[in-house]
Structure 1
Amino acid sequence: MTSILFLGFSSVLLSFTITSGSTNPVNSTNSVSSANPRFLLMGLPGRDTPRARAEIFLNGDITRRLGTIHLQEVFGSVVFKGILFGLPPGFQTLTINEIPELGNNCRDAGPPYDPLEMNNAGYFTVKRHLGDLGSLLTEIFGTTLIHKIDPTITLSDVESNRFVVGRSIVVSVNMLDLQDDREGARIACGIIEP
């Protein structure tokens, strides 16, 4: 018996077992599940999981699109994936903010989303703003790859104070000052839409 696992580009895991004498893995009788072939969702994409997206604009100017951030809820966590082009090289901070507005160079988006009223101690701590998504690194040519997973927010529970669809996403220069909650200048933003 031989077990074979394939991890494809679309983050779907195909698993099957070949028993001795079997040449067709799809018709294998010694399988983990009765369905053949069996697919296990390991990440993006998936058809039945809540999704959202945010088009990101430089300084909130809708004529200057930098890219799209895709959000998908998978196994109780929200996965953020995307590519932005045109940010200045270095570290930036990604936050979900309270108000779905892009005006005034993204300042109209309001403060980072904080329904639990926590003092922000940083992304990797329990005590943080719900909207604090941590840092991004933009490469020297202005390309920013985004792949983050956040277990504290939701796209599916509309009644929850952790529901973020309809809020804004803001990119700020520099990392958050973890001692006093100050953030750097806002340079890009978008609205999370279904």
Structure 2
Amino acid sequence: MGGVTQKMTDTVKSVPILSSPGIQAVVVLRDPNNGQVCGQVDFLQADDGIVTVSGEIKNIPDKQKRGFHIHEFGDTTNGCTSAGAHYNPDNNDHAGPQDVLRHIGDLGNIVGGSGNVAKFNFKDSVIKLTGPHSIVGRSVVVHEKEDDLGQGGNAESKKTGNAGGRMACGVIGIKKN
């Protein structure tokens, strides 16, 4: 061990601090039935914990809304059905993404645009790519109907937003930088 006289703290002080691009994840969405609805969603968690969600999903008719949620399991062995329910570890009622109390997986709706492509880019302070409630390894599901954001006045609204069946899904994974 002889010869080393510099303290470890001195060595650490001289290492330059590199700026981190943030933690990134991605999901590739596929329609298990007929391959019509497909796309990609990217997640970027900044140092302050805010996650930017951006993507493009094809074959969403112009101006039509579709429920867009994170589901509890990263399992697509039985199509999108095996993805389970909305990710909701806190056992809250279904709500909109701007509501204080909501499922972690409640991301609201995406809207079809020109060429029947839904393009979106928004920030969310509830979902996380790290920690005990990380969404990594879970699924994203695009539903067949508009999410009523828990305002539908019935029990199903408080559970799923009356968003209907599942059109496309995929598993969220860590993105290669």
Q: TM-score, normalised by structure 2?
A: 0.73
**Alpha-carbon spacing, 1:109–1:148, altered in 2? closer, same or farther (3 Å):** same
Q: Please give the per-residue CA displacement for 1:82-139, whole angstroms capped at 9, x wherever unaligned.
A: 1122234410011000111224441111100000000123222112111001111012
What are structure 2's unaligned runs of at least 5 residues? 1-18
Q: Are 1:147 and 2:112 an aligned pair?
A: no
SS in 2 for 1:111: coil
1:67 and 2:47 equivalent? no
Q: What per-residue deviation string (whole Å, max 9, x for no partner) do you get for residues 17-74 of structure 1? A: xxxxxxxxxxxxxxxxxxxxxxxxxxxxx8431110000112377x667221111101
Aligned residues with identical type, % of pairs: 27
Alignment of 1:173-188 (within 5 A): 173-177=144-148, 178=150, 179=153, 180=157, 181-182=159-160, 183-188=163-168
Question: Deviation digits for residues 152-178 of structure 1, max 9, x if unmatched?
Answer: 121132xx2x21100000000222241
Q: Secondary structure at the match of 1:81?
A: strand
In terms of fraction of residues, the more helix-rich structure is: 2
Structure 1: runs of 5+ lacking an equivalent: 1-45
Which position in structure 1 is the counterpart of 2:8?
none
1:101 equivalent to 2:75? Answer: yes
- TM-score normalized by structure 1? 0.67
Alignment of 1:3-152 (within 5 A): 47-59=20-32, 66-74=38-46, 75-89=48-62, 90-139=64-113, 141-152=115-126
SS at match of 2:70: strand
CA distance in 2, matches of 1:103, 1:142: 28
**8 Å CA contact retained: 1:84, 1:145:** yes
Aligned pair partner of 1:193 in 167, 173, 176 = 173
**By percentage of residues, which structure has more strand?**
1
Change (3 A) 1:121 1:83: closer
Q: 2:37–2:168: 8 Å Cα contact kept in structure 1?
A: no
Counting matched residue pairs gives 145
Alignment-mate amino acid for residue 51 of structure 2? V
